[in-house]
Amino acid sequence: MTGKRNPWKIVLRIIIGIFFVYGLAVAVGVSVGYFVAKDHTAQQVTSILVPQQQVTAPETHVEPASAPHMETPQTPSEHAAPITPPLTTPTEPQPAPILADKPSKGWKENAIILPPYAYRDKKLIAIIFDDAGVNANRTKEIIDVKSPLTISFLPYAPNLQRQANAARAAGHEVMAHVPMEAEDVDAHPGPNALMTDMTDEEILANLHENLDKWDSYIGINNHMGSFFTADAHRMGVVLEEIKKRDLIFVDSMTSAKSVAGKKAQEMGMLSGARDVFLDDVDNSEKIKEEFKKLEKAARKQGTAIAIGHPRPNTISALKEWLVAIENSEYMVVPLSVVLLERQKAAEEKHN
C-alpha cells in the first residue's frame, strides 16, 4: 500500500531540475564561446605574423628624397677658394637668423681705429680673408686669430649677421665680398652677382641685395669680377653707390685689366688694391713664399695688402708667420689703418 504523494516535494524537484538544465546550458554556451573566440584570436595573430599573399604587382623600392643642399658655385679660375657648405646637417637645430636694422652707413662706423703711436716705425700689413662665411667652421678659425685681420664675407653666406658680429667682437674689420662677373663663363660668382649685361638699375638692385640685409662692414671688395671690374661704366655705377654710402673699396685685382681701383682713386674714395695673393696655389710652401713677398712689399712701400682664403694650408701658414714676425719691423693692422696711411702719404707727396 502506497502513501499519498506530497505535492511540495514534486514542485521542489521540478525547480531543481529547471536550475540544473539552465546551468548546463550556460556551461555549454560559455565553452563554445571560449573556443570560438580563441580560434578568432589565433586567426588575427596569424594574419599579423604571416601576411596574406598579395595579388597586386610586386612593391617597387623607392629611395627617399635627399635632403636639400646648398648649391655651391663652381671653383673659378681666378683666385677663389673652393666653397664648402657649413659643416652642419639638416637635422641639427639652426639658430634664428639675425638681420641688420639698417645697412652700414659710413666706414668709420665699423672701423678699428688705432692711434699713430701704436704703429710708429712699423711696416704695416693688412690681410684680407675672402670668401668668408660659407664654411662656418673655417671662418671661425680665422675669427679666432688674435691679430687684427679683415674678414670679407660673401653676402649669401648663412647666418651672415651672426658671423659678422662675431668677427667684429673679436677685433677684426669686416667687408662685403660682392660677387661680380668673371671672364670665365663657367665660373659662377653666386647669387645677386653684378653682371655686365645688366642695366644700371639692375646692377644697383643686386648691389642693394648684397648690402642692405646686414651691417658691420667697412666697405666692399670684388669676388671674382675679372670681367666686370674691367668695365669702366658699370664699375662707375657701383662706386658711385659705395661713395654715397661713404664706404671703402678694395680692388681684389683678379685681372690686370681692372679699372676699378684707379676709378675709385679718381673719385676721391678711400680705396686700395691687393699687393700679394697668398694662396693662388694652395700649397704650404708656396704660401710661405708669398708671405715673404708680402714682407718685401711692406718694406718697400711702408704698407702692403694681402688677400687669402680660409683654407687649411693658408690658416696654418698664417699662424706660423704671425709667430715669426713678433717683435719685428712688421705689424698686422686693420685694413682701414693701411688705407689711411696710404692716403696720408699721397697727400703729403702731392703737397
Residue 54: pLDDT band with limits 50, 70, 90: very low
* pLDDT digit string, tens, across residues 245-255: 999 999 999 99
**What does the pLDDT read at residue 40?**
44
Q: Residue 259 above 90 pLDDT?
A: yes
Short-list 96, 207, 110, CA closest to 162: 96
Burial of 301 from C-beta contacts in 10 A (0-12 / 13-18 / 19+): middle
Task: Determine the residue type at 78.
Answer: E
The single residue listed with the C-alpha cell 671690374 is: 229
Q: How confident is the model at residue 75 (pLDDT cuts 50, 70, 90)?
A: very low
What was the pLDDT predicted at 11?
A: 59
Question: What's the whole-number mean pLDDT along residues 182-201?
Answer: 97
* Cα three-residue angle 108-110-114, rounded to 5 degrees: 70
Mean pLDDT rounded to a whole number for the chain: 81
pLDDT tens, residue by residue, 100-119 = 455 557 999 999 989 999 99
What does the pLDDT read at residue 337?
98
pLDDT of 211 > 60? The answer is yes
Q: How far apart are CA 120 and CA 322, in angstroms?
A: 19
> What is the band of 301 on the pLDDT scale with cuts at 50, 70, 90?
very high
In whole angstroms, give the CA distance from residue 236 to residue 240.
Answer: 6
**Most trustworthy range by pLDDT among 22-26, 80-84, 195-199:** 195-199
Gap between the Cα atoms of 66 and 102, Å rounded: 37
Q: State pLDDT tens for residues 121-158.
A: 999 999 999 999 999 999 999 999 999 999 999 999 99
Neighbours of 27 (CB within 10 A): 10
pLDDT given for residue 24 in this prediction: 58
pLDDT confidence band for 350 (50 / 70 / 90): confident
Q: Which residues of 65-98 are buried (b: 16+ CB within 10 A; e: fewer)?
A: eeeeeeeebeebebbbbebbebeeeeeeeeeeee
pLDDT the model gives residue 10: 62
pLDDT value at 19 more than 80 = no
